[in-house]
Amino acid sequence: MKYLCLAYYNPADFAAMAPADVQALVSQCPPKDKELKATGQLRLSASLGEPEQTIRIQPRGGKPKVTDGPFTEVKELVGGFFIIEADSRDEAVRLASIHPAATLGEQVGWYIDMHPIGFFEQYSGKPA
């Protein structure tokens, strides 16, 4: 079973940190990332761009409408995501718990939501 793991953070709390504290926090991430990669069960990992660059596309009047996002009332944002593959829910929890957002960054609201993936198809290249 594959799981989509969404890593959240609180942008206001993150912005309130002193630069040295931010550096001290993020410098702890590469060893955790390396440990998760070493399991061989990490299928994909990515961080997301700045929130100001986010757009929302949703149906309006039968057509896609594009708006800026996220909206100011949002207190938590997805900062990254990863996909893991595990034989059981318990194993998936164990794997996701290695990620920095599960073990570090409590002061900036880091946490992970883990979603089982019902359908997964990987694409590469341009269609023929």
Task: Say whether pLDDT at 63 is over 90.
Answer: yes
| pLDDT band (50, 70, 90) for residue 25 | very high
* Residue among 57, 60, 99 nearest 82 (CA): 99
Q: Are 25 and 108 in contact (CB under 8 A)?
A: yes
pLDDT of residue 120: 87
pLDDT (average), residues 90-113: 93
pLDDT (average), residues 99-127: 90
Instruction: For residues 94 and 47, give the distance between their C-alpha atoms in angstroms, rounded to a whole number.
Output: 21
Task: Say whether pLDDT at 71 is over 80.
Answer: no
Look at 72 and 64; give whichever has higher pLDDT. Answer: 64
* Tokens 């550096």 sit on residue: 23
Whole-model pTM: value is 0.86
Task: Say whether pLDDT at 90 is over 90.
Answer: yes
What is the average pLDDT score of the chain? 90
DSSP assignment of 64-95, as one string? EEEEE-S-TT---EEEEEEEEE-SSHHHHHHH
